[in-house]
Amino acid sequence: MLANYGYSDGSGNYFITIDTDKCNACGECVEACPANIFEMADEDPNDPMNAEPLPIVLPEKKNKLKYECATCKPSGDNRPTLPCVMVCEGCAITHSW
Amino acid sequence: MLEGKKPEFWRWTESNWINPDIGWEEARFITLGIDVGSVSSQAVIMTDGNMYAYGNMRTGADSPNSARNALKFALEKTTLNEDKISYCIGTGYGRVNVPMADRTVTEIACHARGANFFYGSKVRTVLDVGGQDIKAIRCDEKGKVTNFLMNDKCAAGTGRGMEVFADLLSVPIGEVGERSYLVEKEPPAVSSTCVVYAKSEATSLLRKGLSTNEVLAAYCSAMAERIYSLLKRIGIEPEFAITGGMAKNIGVVGRLTKKMGLEPLKTSWDTQLAGAAGAALFGFALCHKRNG
Amino acid sequence: MITAGIDCGAKNTKAVILKSGKMIGKGLILTGFEQTEAVKASLDMALRKAGIDFRDVKHIGGTGSGAKAIKEADVRVNDIKAMAVAANYFFPNSRTVVDVGAEEGRVAKFDDIGNVIDFAVNEKCAAGAGAFIEAMSRALETPITEMGKLALSSDNPMPMNAQCTIFAESEVVGLIHAKTQKRDISRAIHDAIAGRIVSMIRGIGLNPDIVMLGGVAYNPGFTSALMRELSVHRIYIPEEPEYGTAVGAAVVAAKE
């Protein structure tokens, strides 16, 4: 499943996508994020018939991603590699902006 | 409403229903799905996975009472008693505050499951435009979610955005769609995404001499564009279904499906019930799994 | 040399006249629906106050969201450049500038001569602009000029959940119904928008001194929330912050 957390408003699109098929539920992203936007859920909240843990973006953070992620995303040319993306072995995490 | 107060142009009618062909007494599992949305709340009662009764009403000041009232409304025409219900699932924006719920399931999962039930297993793309959010969901033939996004950060494209416009232009919400087609020529879409800025844009369009219907057309068109761009993000795959309150607005739906080049599937069910129906179905599946 | 700077904003159009680096005249007009009219009127007002003739003005710098409507301008100045130059003009030691306009929030980092190093903009969404406070003042039924003072009188911080102006309006109405103190709501409103601006500053890197331009700088609720969130003791605000960007445009025009 491609779980797109985030939003689109007049100023742009701010989505973090977690590909749950590529995710091995290691939880490294939860540790790596300086803004603590991830959390391990006991089971997939979007698939009640599947009781396996996986990371989600916290509901109280998902509507502020533009701001929460700002420190990892300076607007200059020297765009860093994002910590959450770096630690993910399965390359399950992508950002839309 | 108090007399002399400005009429509320966004009101819609509440409804409840019972299936006359079903007797609950023979059912093995009676399951309940309650969807507490920001604008409306629904309770759907199913007997072994079949629609038995429902209640659909406006959400009140707090979620627990909205859930209770929706259930009471659904039970109103039945002889069923609340304690005969085997399992209850709460969903929607107020799902954590549904007092009778045995568990909660996200509205994403419930809408996909509900759409699969209402429209059949061929549904692959489900759009739900609610009062305060837009959900774009792709699902498989079993109604299991494969790709989704939910936008509840911004009012643009949501029912609330349309309510603001209906109010600004003093047009009852139910007439917006039809009136938006009573124009000689389709005006360009309102260019601002943000509802606050779109409101000022509408005011300036009226000043420029556009009629109310033309401004409605320009906004329906902007809503359609907004929703289309979110759908494109998850990828559109036929067949396509629209649930939620906005499905009733032909002004937006007509313009959206024209852009998509895809006709939405039809159902005789009230599309606002999809979330609650999905929840009741999950309840049935869980009961089944548990009891063999 | 005499130059003029005109900033045609979403709400107000501002014009200033600069003579050898000193401001000698200014004008402010509601932009309304006719931008070109507002531009002309604000420039006429500034010229009249300065007591000079249009022909004496060597260059005119135009900036703002309605810059296209400034037919009189011979120098088109980028908004970000204009605000950085203005901050540098008023406070030479400053390195960061914040400008919260009616429909846009902008922050920029610049060097000792006002060259922009990095910037961030929030546009096309009212939640990060002055329009947010304006909409909230209507929801709170409090004049916009009183909003800041009201917020300062609260010592009870609380979060606002809605990130959208339209949803925040309903949230404020709900809070009023729940008998929440107006001053606490006002503080929550200012904390919310200041938080969004601060995240933008953090994104480009906090670099004191910080200057604030734009009409929102008059709002003590906003500036105190900004200082609290940034953990700084002072934010530098010029005497008439609403003319800031216009001054920047005039300074750039003088360098032509």
Q: Do domains B15-120+271-291 and B125-260 have the same CATH topology?
A: yes
By Cβ distance, the residue of A3, A13, A96 closest to B148 is: A3
Q: What is the pLDDT of residues C24-82, one digit of tens each?
A: 999 999 999 899 999 999 999 999 999 999 999 999 999 999 999 999 999 999 999 99
pLDDT value for B7: 53
Residue B78 touches chain C, beta carbons under 8 Å: no
Q: Which fold has domain C1-91+243-256?
A: Nucleotidyltransferase; domain 5 (3.30.420)
Q: Which CATH superfamily is domain C93-237 in?
A: ATPase, nucleotide binding domain (3.30.420.40)
Q: Are B56 and B16 in contact (CB under 8 A)?
A: yes
Q: Which residues of chain A are at the C interface, by a Cβ-Cβ cutoff of 8 Å? A: 7, 9-11, 63-64, 66-68, 70-71, 73-76
pLDDT tens digits, one per residue of C158-192: 999 999 999 999 999 999 999 999 999 999 999 99
B237: contact with A, CB 8 A cutoff = no
Is B164–C166 a contact, with Cβ atoms under 8 angstroms apart?
yes
* pTM listed for this prediction: 0.91
- C196, C105 contact by CB (below 8 A): yes
Beta-carbon separation of B146 and A1 below 8 A: yes
User: What number of CA atoms fall less than 13 Å from residue A6's CA on the CB side?
Assistant: 24
Residue C22 has pLDDT above 60, yes or no: yes
What pLDDT shows up at residue A14? 96
Domain pair C1-91+243-256 / C93-237, same fold:
yes
Instruction: Show the tokens assigned to B18.
Output: 């019972």
Window 177-236 of C: residues touching A by CB (8 A cutoff) are: 195-196, 199-200, 202-205
Identify the pLDDT of residue B2.
40
**Whole-angstrom distance, CA of residue A50 vs CA of residue A46:** 9
Q: What is the pLDDT of residues C215-236, one digit of tens each?
A: 999 999 999 999 999 999 999 9
Chains with 3 or more CB pairs closer than 8 angstroms to B?
A, C
Homologous superfamily of the B15-120+271-291 domain (CATH): ATPase, nucleotide binding domain (3.30.420.40)
Q: Which domains does chain A have, with CATH numbers?
A: 2-95 (3.30.70)
Nearest Cα residue in chain B from C131:
B196
pLDDT tens track for A32-84: 999 999 999 998 989 998 889 999 999 999 999 999 998 888 765 555 789 99
Domain ranges of chain B: 15-120+271-291, 125-260
CA distance A48 to B112: 12
Nearest CA in chain C to A67: C199
d(CA C35, CA C20): 29
Judge contact between C241 and C95, C-beta under 8 A.
no
Which residues of chain C make contact with B196, given a CB cutoff of 8 A? 126, 131, 135, 165-166
What's the rounded mean pLDDT across residues C207-213? Answer: 96
- Count the residues in chain C: 256
Give the pLDDT confidence of C75-132 residue by residue, as tens digits: 999 999 999 999 999 999 999 999 999 999 999 999 999 999 999 999 999 999 999 9
Amino acid at B18: I
**Is C17 within 8 Å of C46 (Cβ atoms)?**
yes
What was the pLDDT predicted at C30? 96
Size (chain B), residues:
292
- Interface probe for B, chosen from C164, C176, C179 (most Cβ of B below 10 Å), is C164
What residues does each domain of chain C span? 1-91+243-256, 93-237
Q: What is the CATH number of domain B125-260?
A: 3.30.420.40
Within chain B, which residues score under 50 in pLDDT? 1-5
Residue A79: its pLDDT value, please? 59
The sheet carrying C116-123 orders its strands as C116-123, C104-110, C96-100, C210-213
pLDDT of residue B10: 52
Cβ distance C125 to B193 less than 8 Å, yes or no, reads: yes
pLDDT at residue B1, rounded to an integer:
35
CB-CB under 8 Å, B193 with C166? no
User: Which string of b and e fits C19-50 if b means at least 16 CB within 10 Å?
Assistant: beeebbbbbbbebeeebeebbbbbbebbbebb
Pairing of strands B40-47, B30-36: antiparallel
